[in-house]
């Protein structure tokens, strides 16, 4: 398993004065595919980086506000993130249809782009469902966090910040991942890029991660049933992470009007990288 670093790095100044940072791979005039990375993971960790040139894909990965090199926006919402991507699309990506990929905790951000009409197609890979709404079978500790986020959002955000560090996140991932995923995360061509991306995710401290986690564990500001964009849901049958949809996206698939669910045999939560070609080919004409 090998993921190369970005071909290009840049930042966009947004109308409110903040900067939104992104990385990209592949031809600048390629078909744009935007990646919303997982929890506290910076723009530097792409996927399918050995495929984008041949497929003609311009892969763009963004730092959400307060992570990596993007300026913070302490009271931001999922809808605010979609508005940031709309600005990025207009200023940088052009008028071509935009596919947005959300990995793990990035899934709700990708769906927010669909709900806002920014994305014309979405892929959610090992993504979180709307835990506050309809997912059953959550572990007790995660259910407790969801309940706290509903009852006292400020207290929940403080609790997430107390946990937030690159090392704590690495330990959580390695404790909750099956062997098929640990083989990827610890491989020499992947681990250094992954660890660096997590370190950059916390470069400004834990506030960005805490805000992201509050948004993903709270009710989303859009109705999933109203998302009319085609959505591909990708899950590995061996994925055991408590932060991903515990039913491998089956509930989410039933709620989305135009969803296509892929349950991949012998794959785990790392299928964004182990099955990058299948994911990209399903999105690019």
List pLDDT tens digits, range 48-70. 999 999 999 999 999 999 999 99
Asked if 7 contacts 24 with a C-beta cutoff of 8 angstroms, the reply is yes
Q: Residue 241 — very low, low, confident or very high, per pLDDT cuts 50/70/90?
A: confident
What is the Cα–Cα distance from 208 to 166, expressed in whole angstroms? 12
SS3 state at 220: coil
In the predicted model, what is the mean pLDDT of residues 176-191? Answer: 94
Q: Residue 174 — very low, low, confident or very high, per pLDDT cuts 50/70/90?
A: confident
Instruction: Please give the model's pTM, rounded to 2 decimal places.
Output: 0.96
What is the Cα–Cα distance from 100 to 34, expressed in whole angstroms? 5
Asked if 160 contacts 213 with a C-beta cutoff of 8 angstroms, the reply is yes
What is the Cα–Cα distance from 141 to 92, expressed in whole angstroms? 41
Domains detected in the chain: 8-282 (3.40.50.1820)
Whether pLDDT at 26 is above 60: yes
Asked if 231 contacts 256 with a C-beta cutoff of 8 angstroms, the reply is yes
What is the Cα–Cα distance from 53 to 92, expressed in whole angstroms? 19
List pLDDT tens digits, range 116-139. 999 999 999 999 899 988 656 788
pLDDT at 285: 74
Q: In sequence order, which residues have a C-beta less than 8 Å from that of residue 139 and are 6 or more positions away?
A: 242, 246
What is the Cα–Cα distance from 269 to 178, expressed in whole angstroms? 9
Cβ atoms within 10 Å, residue 62: 27
pLDDT at 136: 66
pLDDT > 90 fraction of the chain, expressed in percent and rounded? 86
What is the Cα–Cα distance from 188 to 193, expressed in whole angstroms? 9
Whether pLDDT at 263 is above 90: yes
Q: Residue 271 — very low, low, confident or very high, per pLDDT cuts 50/70/90?
A: very high
pLDDT at 176: 84
């Amino acid at each position: 398993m090998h993921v190369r670093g970005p071909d290009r790095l840049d930042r966009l100044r947004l109308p409110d004065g903040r900067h939104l940072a992104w990385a990209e791979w592949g031809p600048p005039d390629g078909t744009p595919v935007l990646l919303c990375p997982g929890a506290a993971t910076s723009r530097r960790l792409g996927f399918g980086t050995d495929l984008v040139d041949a497929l003609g894909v311009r892969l763009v990965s963004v730092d959400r506000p307060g992570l990596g090199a993007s300026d913070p926006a302490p009271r931001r919402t999922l809808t605010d993130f979609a508005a940031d991507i709309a600005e990025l699309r207009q200023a940088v990506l052009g008028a071509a249809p935009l596919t947005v990929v959300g990995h793990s905790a990035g899934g709700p951000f990708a769906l927010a782009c669909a709900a806002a009409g920014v994305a014309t197609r979405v892929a959610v890979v090992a993504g979180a469902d709307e835990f506050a709404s309809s997912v059953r079978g959550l572990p007790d500790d995660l259910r407790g966090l969801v309940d706290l986020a509903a009852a006292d959002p400020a207290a929940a955000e403080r609790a997430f910040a107390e946990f937030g560090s690159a090392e704590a996140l690495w330990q959580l991932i390695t404790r909750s991942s099956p062997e098929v995923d640990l083989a990827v995360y610890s491989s020499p061509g992947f681990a250094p890029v992954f660890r660096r991306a997590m370190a950059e995710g916390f470069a400004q401290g834990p506030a960005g991660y805490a805000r992201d986690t509050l948004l993903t564990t709270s009710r989303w500001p859009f109705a999933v049933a109203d998302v009319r964009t085609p959505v591909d849901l990708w899950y590995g049958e061996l994925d055991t992470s408590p932060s991903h949809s515990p039913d491998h996206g089956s509930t989410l698939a039933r709620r989305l009007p135009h969803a296509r669910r892929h349950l991949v045999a012998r794959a785990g939560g790392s299928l964004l990288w182990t099955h990058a070609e299948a994911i990209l080919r399903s999105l690019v004409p």
